[in-house]
Structure formats: C-alpha cells, structure tokens
Chains A and B, each alone.
Chain A
C-alpha cells in the first residue's frame, strides 16, 4: 500500500488526517516542522506528500515544496491552507507553487480520501 507523508505543525490536524488515511489502509509518516518533513521525505521516499503551508515557520510549506522540486523530488504534493481566499492566495494547482493540489482546511474525510486517491492512482498509472 502507498506511503503518505503528512507535514503539518498542527498536531491535531496531523492526527486526524493520519487516522482518516490509515483507515483506508495507507501507511503514514508524519513531521511537525519543515526540517523534519524534509528528512522523512528524503529517508522514506513516500508516494504522496500532504504539506501544510505553515506560514508561521521561517521556512514555510511553500519553501519546502520548492526545495523538493529543485532537488528533483517530484512526489505529488497536496498543500493544506487555511486562508487561501483571505490572503489572496486564490490560485489553482501548479500556479506559482509547484504542488499538485490545494486543500482548504477544514476538509471532510471523504474529500481528503478522494483527493489522495486521485493523485496516487494517477501516479501508479504513469
């Protein structure tokens, strides 16, 4: 079964997301800051990354996503945001930021599963 890395500084969101995806049989690895996030991705080479924007962190989620792409890590990324509209980050996937999909928190478990399945199946077909 596919391996998913979740990187989010909010442990509550992290646990809830992990539980939902584990229930679908995915294996989950987690990190609560960009540095650890980078390490687990390098170490475990997951099939999908769920990455929070983590705007308060010095090297935020955007930065980490860019870092992955620069280093030729093309693992699909779903980016979690909580304020896309309020901050004017009203862009679609792939626009400006090298991620595959955006998710505005809160997200229902069904939606999360759908988005994850879509990206993972897409990847398997390739």
Chain B
C-alpha cells in the first residue's frame, strides 16, 4: 500500500506498449494513479498538463532520449521524483541520469516487487521534498513577518509624539524614535552607540539606577527637565525597566513627553489665582481695618467718622461682590457652561435699551449720547444676556472714563459679513502701553483722573470673551486725553443660523 491517503500520481513514459500498460495496471491495483505516454514528447506534454509525484522514464525511445525527457520534466517541476528505466543498464547511464536529477534508475526487466519498492521509496522522498518545501516557504513567510513587524514597530514608534529611547544593560542604544532625537537634540546617533554620556544627566541618572541594580524591578522613575532655557522646552522623562522573557533585566526604556504647553497653562493659572487672591484680599483688608478701629474703644472714633468708615466699607464690599460676580461669569465662560438662549436680536434695540438703563449715570456726569443706526436690518442671532452685558460694560466704561459734560457716539451699521458697532467717548484716552494691556484681567488705568473711578478690572476682559465666543473681533483706537473708540464686529450668518461657537 502507499504511504499517504492521497493517491500518488505516477507518469509512465515508455514506447513499449505491453510494459506501459502492464505497469499501469500493476500500479493502479496498488493504489497509484497512473498516466501513460508512448513517447517522450507526449510524456512532456502530459507533465505540463497535470501535476505528478513520480515519473518512470524509459531511456531509449524513438523520438526523444530519456535523458532529454528527464531534463524537460525537471524543468516543469524540479520536485517530481524521476526514475530512469533501462534495459541497457550500465553504471555510466545510471550515474549520468542521477547527476541530471533522476532519483534512481530501474533496470529492465523488473519484477513488480522491485518496482513497487523503488516507487515507495521514491514517493517517501517526494513527500519529504514537499514537506521541506512547505517549511521553507513558511520560514520565508515568517522572516517576512518579522521584517514587517520591525517596520511596523518603527512606524508606530515614529508616529507617536512622545520620545522613546531604549538602551540595553550596557548602556548601548537599542531602539529610538524620531521624537526622542528631536527632544534630546541628537543629530547623529546609531543603534549600538553607548549613549549614556550624551543624554541629559537627569535621564542618565535614572537609567543608571536600573543598570546598576542589574535586576528587573517593575518601578519607574520620572522627572521634569527643562531642556531649553526660559521654559522653551520642558519635558517629563520617565524611565522604566524592560525585562527579558525570563524576567531578568534587558534594558531601560525612556519615554519623553513634552509638557511645555501644560506648564505654561499651569503658570498662567497660578498667576491668575495669585492675582485674584490679591484683588479679593485688598478690599477685605480695608474693611477689616475700618471695623477693627470702630470696634476698638481705645481709638475713640467719633460717630460721624464711624459712619464715614462704614460707608466706605460698604462701598468696598459692593466692589468685592461685583468682582466675585465678574469672576464667576468669567469662570462660566471658560467652562462654556453658560446657559445660552440664542435667538434673533435687534442690536439697535439693545443699544437703545442699554442707554436707557444707564440714563442715571449719563445724567450724573452730564454726558450726551448719540445713537446713529446705519442699517435697515440690525439683527443678529445671539444670547440676550451676553449681548446686554457686552454693551453695558462698554457704554458704562465710556461714561465712567469720560470727561464731565462729554459725549458718547454710538453707531451701528453693516460692514461686510459683520455688524459693526462703534462706541466712541470723549474721555481720558489711553497711552499706548495702557492700550496694550486693556483686555487683561484686573488691568485698570491708574492716574489722577481714574483714582475715584470704581471698577473690578474685569469689564473689558468679559467684553473680549463675549466677542470671541461669537467669533467676532474688537478694535480699539485711542488718543490720550482725547477719547477712545471701540469697534465691535459681530458676524452675521445669512442663513439665519446661530453665529455662536457654543457647542
């Protein structure tokens, strides 16, 4: 019986009809599938048309020599196990045929047993060849896979913004990505370089802790390093050990994260908190001072002076309350938690009602306000409260920082895709350096003329935030001692949709 479940396919090429058919019958009875060809050319054509495991080729044939047929068949499939059958068995032909790739030769005449033994051995050889072929192919695929895996790892490593750098136990570079080169400002390093000396000392120190201990402990070390002065580049470097499969220390991976922006935000935040603390504490200190000296009998504060101090405390506390409210508004805007109701607003109407609302303040300083409406349709999609707040802050500034009996000019008109609202006053004006700081939180112009004016220093900062939140713009023109003009541009969406950036 044959060695495999699959029937071995045999090609018999022989010009002797009896032998050809006898062999075919014998092999089929033994479980082979046999095809026959009566000459070399036919045999070669058959081999081209279907796969064979084995071939028995007669050496002497009228058209083609058996050796030629062998060469052709091996060209078609070098793994076909070929036998040369010959009546003129000589060692020379045998050696020649095996040199040319025949597996063996069968001397004629042969007994069925002899033939079957030879074919069985040949078929085993054939199966081994096929198995080897398969393994070779698999190995090639695996090598390809590994190569691909390496490329993939490299691509992944290079696509992350964090820097990554791996060294082995002797401090030689094993792996790195382009971000690591960028952060560490390394122009020319190669795999295998000993790089501990050229890394920032903070990183080297962390790596050495692992290398010196020479065992795998799953701890990480982290530190912040200012790689470029003046906070231009601050990174957080984290070093972790890399284990071998057996759990021993293989090397150390360093991950470098750029935290410059986060640090900047942190700085701004803490500066803001300090500023807020300062601004809140000042009125509290003033009020505590007054109350303490009123309560303390040793100072003998007279009743009318007590009343003055209480009045002044009241003013300071009101200022404090206004500031807390402004801060809450700013915080809500920052968090984008403001409850908005976006609807169509007539901005000309908003300006009119704002002037009505501030009528008392206007009268107090004898200021005349003129409103010129230069658009037939001054509508905009926006939140009523925010727009009220925007113009109340601007116009009340135009009153507060105006001269007595001065004037305020308001003008609204279309300007391209924007509604342009102009607020001009005849007030104290701004110096260039004051103009630059105008929208900063708590910035207030300080001079003899502003000393009596109360304010939180947050009004224009809120104005700017509101305008920004509608994707608008704000421009300031000012001449010291002459007056200031604010130009507010709020975008109009023609399709009637909200122009708000609120998500």
Cα–Cα, bound, A23→B287 (Å): 19
Is A87 an interface residue, CB under 8 A from the partner? yes
Stretch at the interface among B204-212, B235-243, B277-285: B277-285
B293 touches A109 (CB 8 A): yes
A19 touches B301 (CB 8 A): yes
* A12: contacting residue among B273, B278, B281, B316, CB under 8 A: B316
A106 touches B289 (CB 8 A): yes
Per the 8 Å Cβ criterion, residues 59-111 of B in contact with A are none
A16 touches B278 (CB 8 A): no
A13 touches B285 (CB 8 A): yes
Residues of chain B lying within 8 A (CB to CB) of residue A19: 293, 299, 301
A57 touches B274 (CB 8 A): no
Which chain A residue lies CB-closest to B281? A82
Is A55 an interface residue, CB under 8 A from the partner? yes
Known interface pairs A19-B299, A57-B446, A83-B278. Does A108 touch B292 (Cβ–Cβ under 8 Å)? yes
Which chain A residue lies CB-closest to B444? A56
A16 touches B286 (CB 8 A): yes
A12 touches B451 (CB 8 A): no
* B293: contacting residue among A9, A16, A88, CB under 8 A: A16
Is B288 an interface residue, CB under 8 A from the partner? yes
B299 touches A105 (CB 8 A): no
Cα–Cα, bound, A55→B278 (Å): 10
Is A32 an interface residue, CB under 8 A from the partner? yes
Residues of chain B lying within 8 A (CB to CB) of residue A56: 444, 446
* A105: contacting residue among B282, B312, B444, CB under 8 A: B282
Residues of chain B lying within 8 A (CB to CB) of residue A55: 278
A87 touches B290 (CB 8 A): no
- The contact size tier of chain A is 20 to 34
Interface of B is mostly: helix
Is B298 an interface residue, CB under 8 A from the partner? yes
Which chain A residue lies CB-closest to B446? A56
Known interface pairs A12-B312, A23-B298. Does A86 touch B278 (Cβ–Cβ under 8 Å)? yes
Is B296 an interface residue, CB under 8 A from the partner? yes
A92-108: contact bitstring with B at CB < 8 Å (1 yes, 0 no)? 00000000000001111
B274 touches A23 (CB 8 A): no
B286 touches A23 (CB 8 A): no
B289 touches A12 (CB 8 A): yes
Is B229 an interface residue, CB under 8 A from the partner? no
The residue in B277, B286, B313 that gathers the most chain A C-beta atoms within 10 A of its C-beta is B286
A12-35: contact bitstring with B at CB < 8 Å (1 yes, 0 no)? 110111011001000000001000
Per the 8 Å Cβ criterion, residues 310-335 of B in contact with A are 312-313, 316
* B274: contacting residue among A10, A16, A87, A106, CB under 8 A: A87
Known interface pairs A32-B451, A109-B299. Does A16 touch B290 (Cβ–Cβ under 8 Å)? yes
Residues of chain B lying within 8 A (CB to CB) of residue A16: 286, 289-290, 292-293, 309
Residues of chain A lying within 8 A (CB to CB) of residue B289: 12-13, 16-17, 106-107
- Beyond contacts A23-B300, A83-B278, A108-B292: 11 other A-B pairs, Cβ-Cβ < 8 A, are A9-B446, A12-B316, A20-B293, A56-B446, A57-B446, A82-B278, A82-B281, A82-B282, A82-B285, A83-B281, A88-B274
Closest CB pairs A-B (n = 4)? A16-B289, A106-B285, A12-B286, A105-B285
- What are 19 A-B residue pairs whose CB atoms fall within 8 Å in the complex? A12-B289, A13-B285, A16-B290, A16-B309, A19-B301, A56-B446, A57-B446, A83-B277, A83-B281, A86-B273, A86-B274, A88-B274, A105-B282, A106-B288, A106-B292, A108-B292, A109-B292, A109-B293, A109-B299
